[in-house]
Structure 1
Amino acid sequence: MTTIAVLGNGRVGGNLATALTRAGHEVTVVDRAPGAAADAARTARIVINATPGAGSLERLAALREELHGKILVDVSNATTDGPDGLPADLIYPGSSLAEQLQEALPETHVVKTLNTMLFPVMTAPATLAQTPTAFLSGEDPLAKQTVRELLVDLGWHKEWITDLGGIRTARATEAAILFVPHIMRSTGFAPFAISIAR
């Protein structure tokens, strides 16, 4: 059992919290209120950023002391929205939210994952007709191994998880969010994930 704080109580955060609790972890879900987030981060071993990506950097940088030495799992994408409310462009072109977080939180082990799919797939990957891929980006091998184990708890087979390397590789997976509006306009709001076919 691991103590986990999920920052963000929307569809993504709630979905992850329910599944991780079912897997036997001690999970606390908090909204964006600074005080509640600080308290939860202070007592957790792992913190999951499920807050809207556009405000994540400012929100999490304020928790630098509470996140010292912790694993920060970042599942958000930082984008601006188009007129239809769907992602239109990246906030950090040539970089990524994960890189910005790691720079702002040098004593925190940032791991990027689960950001290349619609949220239902995060906790039910086997429901897709084809095998999905979950990517890992981060500087600390032990942190990535811990996150890999969490993914297995969420239903991801080990062979479905691909370690891309350091945190800089997160800019590739974050850019994949630009597929989402086009796929949704084409096929509707049906669960999907980006996958590497071999």
Structure 2
Amino acid sequence: MTMIAVLGNGRVGGNLAAALARAGHEVTVADRTPGAAAAAAGTARIVINATPGAGSLDRLAALREELRDKILVDIANATTDGPDGLPGDLIYPGSSLAEQLQEALPETRVVKTLNTMLFPVMTSPATLSQTPTAFLSGEDPEAKQTVHELLTDLGWHKEWITDLGGIRTARATEAAILFVPHLVRSTGFTPFALTIAR
């Protein structure tokens, strides 16, 4: 059992929190109540960023002390909205939210994952008709191994998980969000994930 704090109580955060609790972890979900995020992060070993990506950097940078020596699992994508409310463009072109978080939180081990799929797939990857891929980006091998084990608790087979390397590789997976509005307009909000076919 691991103490996990999920920052963000929307559909993404709620879905992850429920699945991790079913897997036997002790999970706290922090909403926007003043002090809730700090309290949850301060007592957890792993913190999951499920906040809207456009505001994640400011929210998490304010938790620098609470996040010290913790693993921060960043699943958000930082984008501006297009006219239809779907992702329109990247906030950090030539970089990524994960890189910005790692720079702002040098004593926190940031791992990027689960940001290349619609949220139901994060906790039910086997429901897709084809094998999905979950990517890992981060500087700390031990932190990535811990997150790898967390993904297996969510139903991800080890052969479905690909370690891309350092945190700089997150800019590639974050850029994949630009596929989403086109896919949604074409097929609706049908669960999907990017995958590597070999």
Same fold (TM over 0.5): yes
The answer to whether 1:61 aligns with 2:85 is no
State the TM-score, normalizing by the size of structure 2: 0.99
* Percent of residue pairs bearing the same amino acid type: 88
Q: Which residue of 2 aligns with 1:171?
A: 171
Instruction: Verify the 8 A CA contact 1:122 1:154 in the aligned structure 2.
Output: yes
* Higher mean C-alpha displacement, 28-37 vs 188-197: 28-37
CA distance in structure 2 between the aligned counterparts of 1:32 and 1:75, rounded to whole angstroms? 18
Please state how far the C-alpha of 1:32 moved relative to its aligned partner: 2.8
The match for 2:148 is 148
Give the secondary structure class of the aligned counterpart of 1:111: strand
- The letter for the 2-side match of 1:115 is N
CA contact (8 A) 1:109 1:140 kept: yes
Paired with 1:33 and 1:125, the residues of 2 have a C-alpha distance of 32
Query: Match for residue 73 of structure 1?
Result: 73
The 5 Å alignment of 1:27-46 reads 27-46=27-46
Label 1:34 to 1:74 Cα distance change in 2 as closer, same or farther (>3 A). Answer: farther
Contact 1:112 1:170 in 2 (8 A): yes
How far apart are the structure 2 equivalents of 1:76 and 1:12?
A: 10
Amino acid corresponding to residue 7 of structure 2 in structure 1: L
- Tell me the alpha carbon deviations over residues 12-67 of structure 1, each in whole angstroms, 9 at most, x when there is no partner: 00000000000000000011334110011000000000000000000000000000
Give the root-mean-square deviation of aligned CA atoms: 0.5
Distance in 1 (alpha carbons) for counterparts of 2:78 and 2:34: 20
1:34·1:59 contact (CA, 8 Å) conserved in 2?
Answer: no
Instruction: Quote the residue 2:116 is aligned against.
Output: 116
Q: Count the aligned residue pairs.
A: 198
Measured in 2, the distance between the counterparts of 1:23 and 1:30 equals 19
SS class of match (2:35): helix
- 1:100 correspondence with 2:100: yes
Q: Per the alignment, in what secondary structure is the counterpart of residue 5 of structure 2?
A: strand
* Cα distance in 2 for residues equivalent to 1:36 and 1:144: 26
1:184 is paired with a residue whose SS is helix
Q: Does 1:16 align with 2:42?
A: no
- Partners of 1:33 and 1:18 lie apart in 2 by 20
Which residue of structure 2 lines up, in the alignment, with residue 183 of structure 1? 183
- What secondary structure is seen at the aligned counterpart in 2 of 1:172? helix
String of CA shifts for 1:151-194, please: whole Å, max 9, x gaps: 00000000000000000000000000000000010011100000
SS in 2 for 1:155: coil
Normalising to structure 1: TM-score of the pair? 0.99
Q: Which runs of 5+ in 1 are unaligned?
A: none
Q: What SS is found at the alignment partner of 1:28?
A: strand
Question: Could you tell me how far apart the structure 2 residues matched to 1:33 and 1:109 are?
Answer: 25
Distance in 2 of aligned mates of 1:186 and 1:104: 37
Q: 2:133 — aligned with what?
A: 133
Distance 1:151 1:140 in 2: 17
